[in-house]
């Protein structure tokens, strides 16, 4: 069942436009007709029209009610509590925020934060009211939302396992490439984002999309903010390793495991499996890259520092307190996870590709998304499907680490410790 319509009192709808008023009058009349002419019960009407029982009671008192009545209790076109002074303050705060080159956010949440700073001790209007005022003043920015297809649920994407069972803090990371006007070489960035509170978005410029730069950026991020339990990344060569060698332990995998962080590789060509960082990349593009003019790379770096600080203040992120030292030795199980969509193989069976190896699965699992766990100590790969927030094993096969990759890692190899 969908959500109930936004009506209160005896039918005043929050939308004060003429279009909303016409829809509300029509709804009142229809509720009255269903009760007196069709004989439907009040509970049935409330369910069918998705309105409250109180709304139905208000408009079924008589078959000859005035459906155009205004029962708000205060003049039409005026707010019950927040007057023109509030509107003036909102407009002023919006102008202050938008005119500050170090600020990148001036929506309802940013206005709420600025209100607390400029008018301490005074009540703050609700976010919904601030948003309405911004829209009425023509100050709200409109973005076209992408239609959600529900593919993640349909394909059994193991979201619950990733964010609730594999670790308390799951960090997503992604490479970004942009071109600065007048420069032939692209600029490269790494985006970091936490899905769960305390939320954080952070961007670092790097020289190139390489494993070395990725590792250096991670070290800076971990020192400044926090070290996650898991790090979820795309299947770029810089992070997953060789495109030809099989079952290689990449430099990034080894670095994360040595820091007791579990690597998770997203579903190839499925952006929703990196939804948090992809969404923040959109914010980066709209609020930073496309909204500013940069004179040089140094100017990009300076304004990027402003953008990161503005983003941190906007989300209210605070680094966690340092955890207490464990009383005994901690047990970390070195493992790597791969999210993969089951495809049809030439023999019509199902299959997934993990580190250039094809793992055959029953065709019944096409086209679901499965979670493959590479247990490095046992050198086995187990494949699971999540249903109703529980993992069900599909298969487990030997998956030995490529000796050449261990040799290339040398003394830094985490498996040699």
Number of helices (H) and strands (E) in the chain: give both, helices first.
14, 14
Cα separation, 302 vs 292, in Å, equals 12
Range ranked top by mean pLDDT from 28-37, 69-78, 141-150, 294-303: 294-303
Q: What residues pair up with 190 in beta bridges, in sequence order?
A: 175, 204
Cα separation, 250 vs 239, in Å, equals 7
Cα separation, 212 vs 323, in Å, equals 28
Mean of per-residue pLDDT scores for the chain: 87
Q: What residues pair up with 47 in beta bridges, in sequence order?
A: none
Can you give the length of the chain in residues?
417
* pLDDT, mean of residues 305-327: 84
Q: Where do the domains of the chain lie?
A: 1-78, 84-136, 151-316+332-417
Cα separation, 367 vs 148, in Å, equals 19
Poorest-pLDDT segment among 57-61, 69-73, 202-206: 69-73
Residue-level pLDDT at 15? 43
Query: Strand 390-398 and strand 380-387: pairing?
Result: antiparallel
DSSP state of 414: G
* Sequence-distant contacts of 320-326: CB under 8 A, at least 24 apart: 320/198, 320/226
Contacts of 3 (CB under 8 A, 6+ apart): 50
Q: CB 114: neighbour CB atoms within 10 A?
A: 20
Which ranges of 100-155 does DSSP label H, i.e. alpha helix? 108-118, 127-136, 151-154
- pLDDT per residue as tens digits for the range 255-281: 999 999 999 999 998 888 899 999 999
Contact 382, 402 (CB under 8 A): no
Cα separation, 85 vs 21, in Å, equals 26
Place of tokens 């430099």: 251
Cα separation, 104 vs 307, in Å, equals 6
Residue-level pLDDT at 417? 60
Regarding pTM above 0.85, the answer is: no
Q: CB 365: neighbour CB atoms within 10 A?
A: 20
Poorest-pLDDT segment among 68-77, 80-89, 163-172, 226-235: 68-77
Is 76 a residue whose pLDDT tops 70? no
Residue-level pLDDT at 150? 65
Cα separation, 266 vs 257, in Å, equals 17
Q: At the top level of CATH, which class does the domain 151-316+332-417 belong to?
A: alpha beta
Cα separation, 139 vs 328, in Å, equals 56
Is 189 a residue whose pLDDT tops 90? yes
* pLDDT, mean of residues 146-160: 75
- pLDDT per residue as tens digits for the range 317-332: 998 887 655 555 678 9
Residue-level pLDDT at 14? 44
């Amino acid at each position: 069942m969908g959500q109930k319509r936004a009506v209160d009192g005896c039918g005043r709808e929050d939308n004060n436009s003429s279009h909303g008023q016409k829809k509300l009058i029509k709804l009142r009349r229809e509720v009255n007709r269903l009760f007196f002419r069709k004989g439907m019960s009040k509970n049935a009407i409330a369910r069918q029209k998705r309105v409250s029982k109180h709304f139905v009671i208000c408009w079924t008192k008589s078959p000859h009610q005035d459906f155009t009545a205004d029962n708000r209790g205060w003049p039409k076109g005026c707010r019950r509590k927040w007057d023109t002074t509030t509107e003036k303050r909102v407009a002023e705060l919006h102008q202050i925020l938008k005119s500050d080159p170090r600020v990148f956010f001036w929506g309802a949440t940013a206005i709420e934060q600025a209100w607390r700073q400029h008018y301490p001790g005074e009540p703050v209007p609700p976010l919904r009211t601030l948003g309405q005022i911004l829209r009425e003043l023509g100050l709200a920015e409109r973005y076209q939302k992408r239609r959600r297809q529900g593919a993640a649920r349909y394909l059994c994407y193991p979201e619950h396992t990733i964010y609730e069972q594999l670790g308390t803090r799951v960090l997503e990371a992604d490479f970004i490439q942009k071109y600065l006007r007048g420069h032939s070489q692209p600029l490269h960035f790494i985006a970091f984002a936490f899905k769960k509170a305390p939320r954080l978005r952070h961007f670092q410029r790097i020289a190139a999309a390489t494993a070395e730069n990725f590792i250096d950026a991670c070290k800076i991020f971990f020192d400044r903010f926090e070290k996650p339990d898991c790090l979820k990344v795309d299947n770029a060569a810089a992070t997953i390793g060789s495109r030809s060698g099989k079952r290689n332990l990449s430099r990034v995998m080894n670095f994360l495991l040595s820091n007791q962080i579990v690597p998770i590789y997203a579903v190839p060509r499925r952006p929703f499996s990196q939804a948090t960082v992809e969404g923040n990349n959109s914010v980066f593009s709209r609020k930073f890259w496309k909204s500013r003019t940069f004179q040089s790379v140094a100017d990009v770096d300076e304004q990027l520092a402003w953008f990161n600080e503005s983003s941190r203040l906007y989300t209210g992120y605070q680094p966690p307190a340092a955890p207490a030292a464990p009383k005994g030795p901690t047990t970390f199980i070195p493992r790597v996870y791969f999210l993969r969509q089951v495809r049809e193989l030439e023999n019509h069976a199902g299959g997934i590709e993990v580190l250039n190896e094809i793992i055959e699965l029953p065709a019944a699992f096409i086209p679901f998304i499965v979670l493959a766990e590479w247990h490095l100590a046992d050198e086995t790969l187990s494949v699971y499907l999540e249903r109703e927030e529980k993992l069900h094993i599909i298969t487990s096969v030997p998956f030995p680490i490529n000796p050449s990759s261990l040799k290339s890692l040398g003394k830094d190899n985490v498996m040699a410790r």
